[in-house]
Amino acid sequence: NNNNNNSNNNYNCFVASGGFLVNSCSAYSNGSSGRSSKISPLFAKKKKRLSSEGKSGKIQVKLLKYVEGTGSIGDIVMVAPAFFEHKLKKTGSATRVSDENVAEEKAKEDAEKKEEIAVATAMQEKINDLELSITKKAGPDGTLFGGVGKKTILNELKQLYPKGALDAKHIKIISIKGDDEKELKGDIKNLGTYTTLIALMKDIKAKFQVSIVED
């Protein structure tokens, strides 16, 4: 019976305090009126996981180079810590990034994209329905002495706007059509007016007229 009483007393010594089990007996056994703040190891706080660490133990990184089987430049991927330390980090192929880093970078990219769309839309309004005139020498039948290609048209168009406004690599002439609305497969070879389509961005295009007149 004494053993049972001792067991019950020991059990009752642990009370809930602020979400933890606290040993309240040690203080009373010493004649003290206060309670001990010793916390049960069962309720110890777990180590906080970093925002760049996944539940599987993998870590989040941004690729700085193409890595076969892993991803391309700029990709955000989860990799094993050992793979990062022994290969990606040593070769300068990746850097660790947190969720906060990713969010900040995305916000920056979104802002830049929005600005790019605004600039392209403004340029679209300027080019739409424009009439561009290019002079060329031609024979009696209107056949040009040397054709006029997409590159020539784009270079002539650039002269009408501030330097650099149409220099982006993705800006290009994508279509030239004659009076019959048929798309030319090559350069313009005769005098006349041609409907030309230019791509300013993937989904932003402008249509204008190119008149080839005799010099």
| Residue whose token pair is 């020991």 | 10
Pairing of the two strands 204-214 and 131-136: parallel
pLDDT at 33 over 50: no
pLDDT band at 51 (very low <50, low <70, confident <90, very high): low
pLDDT at 63 over 50: yes
Mean pLDDT of 186-210: 96
| Residue whose token pair is 């870590």 | 59
User: Exposure of 44 by Cβ count < 10 A (0-12 exposed, 13-18 middle, 19+ buried)?
Assistant: exposed
pLDDT band at 21 (very low <50, low <70, confident <90, very high): very low
What is the residue type of 78?
A: M
User: Exposure of 146 by Cβ count < 10 A (0-12 exposed, 13-18 middle, 19+ buried)?
Assistant: exposed
DSSP H or E run through 48 = none
**What pLDDT, on a 0 to 100 scale, did the predictor assign at position 123?**
97
Q: Are 206 and 129 in contact (CB under 8 A)?
A: no
Q: What share of the chain in percent tops pLDDT 90?
A: 71
> How far is it, in rounded angstroms, from Cα 202 to Cα 168?
12
Cβ neighbours of 5 (radius 10 Å): 9
Vertex 135: Cα angle to 131 and 119 (nearest 5): 35
Mean pLDDT of 6-26: 48
